[in-house]
Each structure stands twice: as C-alpha cells, then as structure tokens.
Structure 1
Amino acid sequence: MPQDTQTGKELSMESREDKSPQQNLVAEAVWSGSRAQESNGEEKPRRKKEQTAQEKNAVAAEVKKLQEQQEMNNLKKQVENKTKCIEELQQENKVLPKKLTAESK
C-alpha cells in the first residue's frame, strides 16, 4: 500500500471518534474498497465498478471471439487457395507428359 494512502488511513482512524457512525462506515468502505455498508448495517455491493469491469470483460471476450473467427476464416481461405493451386498443378502434371511426347515427335 502506498505510504500516502497508509498515512491517510491512519489519520482517518485517529479522528474516528469525531465522526458519526455512518461517516465511519463510509470511511471504512472507502478504505477497504470492497463493500459499502448502509446505515441499517446491511452490506451493499459496489455495483457500478463491478458492472463496469464485467462489461469490459464481456466486450473483451467478444472482441477476442470475433478476432479468432476472422483468423479462422482467413486460414480457411488460405487452405482453399492452396488446395486450388495443388489441383491445378496436378492437372497440369497429368497433361505435361502428353505435351512432351507430342512435341518430341
């Protein structure tokens, strides 16, 4: 933990008696960074940050999936093109001996 944050936390904890219970709960929630506590004592999740992180992860996963699909399509096209070239070369290879014998006559 950075020293400034630690110092701020210590200062905050020292003056804890001067704050209302609700202010203390809010301060603890801010320092802990996990969950906030409402005045009735129930924990309230920090949804905004969690949702934003989940949305970013979902978008990143979707982008990765689309990139993988595009890469797969590119590879399929390359295979098709090479297969076509091989077939053309095989066809030419069948005809070539006939051409050679016809030219040598």
Structure 2
Amino acid sequence: MHDPIYDIELYADQAGCPANVMIMGGEVWRTLRSFKKFRELYDLSRGSESAAELACKNLGEVVSFKGYLGDLALIVYSGKYTDSDGTEKYFLEPDLLVLGNTNNKGLVAYG
C-alpha cells in the first residue's frame, strides 16, 4: 500500500529549507485524503499530535485550511483568474502542490 506521507517528507527534504506549509490544489487534497494511511494519522485516540478537518473549513472563497500533518499546515487553494483571451484558469493547478515556509520573507533586489 502506498504511503503518501513518505512522498511529502521526501519533497520537504529536497526543498533545502524547513517546510511548515503545504498549499495544494483541490485534486491533490482529494487524492491525499483517499489514502487510508493518511486518514489514520488523525486518529486522536492514539495520542497523535496531528489534527485535521477532512471536510471544509473555508477561510474565504478560494482558501481552505484543512489542518496539520505534524507541523505542516495543509491548505487548499482554488483561486482563478481570467487570461487575456477570456479563459478562466487556476493560479495553482488542481493537481499541484507547493511546499513553503511562512517565515520566508523572500528577497527584494534592485538594480
């Protein structure tokens, strides 16, 4: 049986910096929560530190906080825009995920 947690940890290790947030499209969330191994992590009767909302907890029209996987916040983003030819597109494709760190302020360089 496949363990998606292994893949997430591998992606986080390869990122080169500590990840504390995973922003994903809706299809990633639907696939992730379909894994029994993933759902078992939220059995609080075993004393797990993890907690999640497997249903919706909307933080607006396009952002939904789902909970935590350890210390990794799980967020589903479904924002869209209309491109120059009038086609509505997702900012983040439904089958993509991005790992990040909320303390990363980036770099603004001039010149």
Same fold (TM over 0.5): no
Quickly name the TM-score band, shorter chain normalised. under 0.3
Higher RCO, 1 or 2 (CA under 8 Å, sep at least 6)? Answer: 2
- TM-score relative to the length of structure 2: 0.25
Rg larger in structure: 1
- TM-score relative to the length of structure 1: 0.26
